[in-house]
Chain A
Amino acid sequence: MAEIHLESVTKRFGDVAAVQDIDLVVQDGEFVVLLGPTGAGKTTTLRLIAGLEKPTEGRVLIGGHDAAPRSPAERDVAFVFQQYSLYPHLSVYDNLAFPLRAPVRRQSREDIHKAVERVARMLRIDHKLENRATRLSGGEMQRVAIGRALVRQPSVYLMDEPLSSLDAKLRSELRLELQHIQRDLGATMLYVTHDQIEAMTMATRIGVLDHGRLVQIGTPREIYESPRNTYVATRLGMPAINLLPAGAFAGAAMPPGTTLIGARTEHIVVDRGQGGGPRARVEWIEHLGDQNHLHLVMGDHRLVTLVGADTNLSVGDELQVSLRRPLFFAADGERIAA
């Protein structure tokens, strides 16, 4: 395993800057998740590291060495693609064995067989080894794709939204499996996704991408509790953070310069009290089974928060809203420490 180092890396396609001036270090054995919406530059970042694209500016270092002179094959990385992940003309077994049969490795037939069997058991696809790759369900295909990366011990694993095409149940299963595998192998992993749950649950550190820029990087807790700006704040949390103008809570204490208040559900306290705080009306209650999303109208503003499943609130109820240690943002969107 090895660390990855991006030094002021920029990649432009014509006028489009897919990746802009990114500095990033992925430590040996670390699980870093880059989070960003479609078009944020996630795939491009991975392709730059794998050597499928050349940076317009900046350097990529793998294991302390400049990767520029090395071809993708020589960089010793494993890549799980977002789609087209399996060779359609090969069986599952041959797909898994493919990286081990590469000229740069030249492993013996028995070693290849052992490695394929091990990975197939680990991902529970050992009963499908003889199948054509195209005769698998989506979940099985994705397991094989991940297996093709895990079958060798590269210096770093790059994963491009490997779970995005799966249904929710499989996704949560594979999420757990990936975490276990990463920990057991001590693998260096750079994983990109637009799914905040994947980022929160798996990452040692999360990096948030916005239009090719790395806006913030830190532990999931840091990113969640101390987002650098409103963009990062809106990336995490379900329901999404409520951004309200400071005027909506005129009486509350807030640092100078605050123009926006960011209230996550845990920052919001609602009760039927008659204090002097701002009041809101229950507009809608979404039942999610184990909990409820409470949609509130507060003057001109709306906010969404969580209440327990056993709530006795109903549509039209008038409530008092108060905030407990919310986030504060300045006019430019940057967070102001309380």
Chain B
Amino acid sequence: MSSASTTAHSVVEPSANSKRLAGFLVILYAVISMIPLAWIFATGWKTPPDSISYPPKVVFDPSLEGYCNLFTTRTRQTQDYIEAQGPPQGACDEVTRKREMVIAGPSNYVPRFINSLIIAFGSTFLAVALGVLSAYAFSRFKIPLADDLLFFILSTRMMPPIAVAIPIYLMYRELGLSDSALGMILLYTAVNVSLAVWLLKGFIDEIPREYEEAAMIDGYTRLHAFFKVVLPQAATGIAATAIFCLIFAWNEYAFAVLLTSGRAQTAPPFIPTIIGEGGMDWPAVGAGTTLFLIPIVVFTVLLRKHLLRGITFGAVRK
């Protein structure tokens, strides 16, 4: 593509001063956005008293207590009982005993986290797969009422999804989908698929159809051409779409509270239920939240080279 059309508005290089100002503003914004995250991260390494001390502690002795409390359940025991247990088994046991408690067993954090992984990645995969197929069909074939269908698909996003919470709750109860991973995957897929179709259609529209036609003449079927020629060139769009879908499904809270309670509960409704002695166990919540952020960060970093072009929706072309 010619660069003339995309750089026409910036024929004049910005001055050194305006570049410096822009850089300063970007860094300022980044710092402001990072402060809550940094605070959550720090809280995960505090002791419960440090986490609620006033004035807030910026400098503190790091403690494993938050992470230990996140992964375990504990019971209060008498001093005699604790001493009868012999020497502490590992760091967490030691921290726990200092609070006159013993570890009773693992907490539900790990299974909830795994639920989150299964449901978020499963629904993202489904939404992107369905999205890319229908986007391809809308982009390449004459479909009767295509514009109306596309509008209908978009219209499913016009009200907040939670507005249909009650009907979905009743429906899921009838269908036996309540508190099941399958139910949550289907729900998040349904919410995301409209976004996926619209985003991906834009990307696929930009891929000249000559490539598929060339492949079909070269001896490939349309399906082969789709996988060999269209998908690789849509990688950018697929990556961007997948990240948007994943972020929604990973962070979704309202439906998760409503529809899951046990087996299929995801991490977002679980984390706020972590309660320690005498109220919220903020270090454990901080630890749980920190770990909860990791998959999205990893996924985004892995796909980052596709993202820069992807989230500008094809505005930047080379």
- A: residues with CB less than 8 A from B are 50-52, 71-73, 75, 77-79, 81, 83-85, 87-89, 98-99, 102-105, 148
Q: In the complex, which of the residues B218, B224, B232 contacts A99, with contact meaning CB atoms closer than 8 Å?
A: B218
- With A81-B210, A103-B224 in contact, do A87 and B229 touch (Cβ < 8 Å)? yes
| Chain B residues touching A, majority SS | helix
Name the 9 nearest CB pairs between A and B, nearest first. Answer: A102-B219, A99-B218, A104-B219, A84-B210, A89-B232, A72-B216, A84-B208, A79-B217, A73-B219
Structural contact, A72 and B217, CB atoms closer than 8 A: yes
Structural contact, A83 and B210, CB atoms closer than 8 A: yes
Alpha-carbon distance A52/B219, docked complex (angstroms)? 13
**Chain A nearest CB, measured from B86 CB (Å):** 63
Alpha-carbon distance A87/B216, docked complex (angstroms)? 13
- With A87-B229, A89-B232, A89-B233 in contact, do A73 and B211 touch (Cβ < 8 Å)? no
| Chain A residues touching B, majority SS | loop
Q: Which of B216, B217, B220, B232 has the most CB of A within 10 A?
A: B217
Q: Does B308 contact A (CB under 8 A)?
A: no
Alpha-carbon distance A79/B220, docked complex (angstroms)? 14
Which residues does chain A contribute within 8 Å of B232, judged by CB atoms? 89
Structural contact, A103 and B221, CB atoms closer than 8 A: yes
Can you list 29 contacts pairing A with B, beta carbon distance less than 8 Å?
A50-B213, A50-B217, A51-B217, A52-B216, A52-B217, A71-B216, A72-B216, A72-B217, A73-B216, A73-B217, A73-B219, A77-B217, A78-B218, A79-B214, A81-B214, A84-B208, A84-B214, A85-B214, A87-B211, A87-B215, A87-B229, A89-B235, A98-B218, A98-B228, A99-B219, A102-B220, A103-B220, A103-B221, A105-B219
Tally of A-B residue pairs with Cβ under 8 A? 59
**Chain B nearest CB, measured from A42 CB (Å):** 15
**Chain A nearest CB, measured from B207 CB (Å):** 9
Residue of B nearest to A52 (CB): B213
Q: A73-B221, A83-B208 are in contact. List 14 more A-B contacts (CB 8 A).
A: A50-B217, A52-B213, A71-B221, A72-B213, A73-B218, A73-B219, A79-B214, A81-B213, A87-B214, A87-B229, A98-B218, A99-B218, A102-B220, A105-B219
Which residues does chain B contribute within 8 Å of A98, judged by CB atoms? 215, 218, 228
